[in-house]
Amino acid sequence: MAPKNMNKMAETLRQKIALGKFLPMPSCFDGLSAKMIEQEGFDLSFMSGFAASASRIGAPDLGLMSYGEVLDQARNVAEASTIPVIVDGDTGYGNAMNVYRTVSGFARVGCAGVLIEDQLSPKRCGHTPGKDVVGREEAFDRIQAAVDASREDTDIVIMGRTDANHTHGLSEAIYRGQRYHELGAEIIFIEAPKSIDEMRTLCREVPGCKLANIVEGGLTPDLPMGALEEIGYQMAVYPLTLLAASMQAMKLALEHIKTDTRQNAGLMDFSELRHRIGFDDYYETSSRYETSYRK
């Protein structure tokens, strides 16, 4: 059955996966970071829950952001970019019916894909302590509801994530990944393999498109893209790289303001800043209308 509402971005994402090329995904956290990822020529982006929580509410990724807040952030990201964006849908914010609504909502605002995971609520960043997962049947119900929403309401690519390796071991994580694929998840994300051997095993045992989550300083080996592709991954997401870079840049800039040495702060030129934000495009478009604001 075809979904009631088609989603051009979901189909674009599927086409890119079907080409079989390795796909790196820098993670955005707001409209500007999404726009800059596209400006640098990347084919895909991922809205990181960790980074979005830090950016929007200045709080850790521990289930504090509500569905409405994440949906609003995803809408801003999707509107600022013309490349496919996958959004972190966490646990789906409730039971299977909540998952269905969550997935439909992200699809309707233009996200190409959505991640649904099997952690207990409140969820935690996959590379921080204290996380646990729900039982198999509840995990499978979440993925089934997500797939149903994509098929019955508005089309979107489903990414199934399991954190079972942390508490139940790699075999359980592999089993869940296999079942996610059977249920219709198009991208499989087994979080936090702790060695190259674990990475090879899960890529060998789990079918479909596999994603590696590369967190600088995290639990998973931080391998080059070529090595990840050789192991069997087709995607790699970099959830904290831009957040860490921007926070470090802001920290240094603030130190230079404090010491009145802004000329040494490595700031982006004002003309480039305006161009990247979109001032030039705005003025070019507004020139068609006599009553538009002028420079």
CA distance readout (Å), 274 to 79, 242, 279, 281, 282: 18, 20, 5, 10, 10
Total residues found in the chain within this entry:
295
Cβ(113)–Cβ(88) below 8 Å: no
Each residue's pLDDT, cut to its tens digit, for the chain (295 residues) gives 677 788 999 999 999 999 999 999 999 999 999 999 999 999 999 999 999 999 999 999 998 999 999 999 999 999 999 999 999 999 999 999 999 999 999 999 999 999 999 999 877 665 566 679 999 999 999 999 999 999 999 999 999 999 999 999 999 999 999 999 999 999 999 999 999 999 999 999 999 999 999 999 999 999 999 999 999 999 999 999 999 999 999 999 999 999 999 988 899 999 999 999 999 999 999 988 976 555 5
Q: What is the DSSP letter of 191?
A: -
The domain segmentation of the chain, as residue ranges, is 8-246, 266-295
The rounded distance, in Å, linking the Cα atoms of 126 and 116 is 13
Q: What are phi and psi of 86, to 5 degrees?
A: -100, 135
Cα 174 to Cα 171: distance, rounded to the nearest angstrom: 5
> Which one-letter amino acid corresponds to residue 295?
K
Fold of 8-246: TIM Barrel (3.20.20)
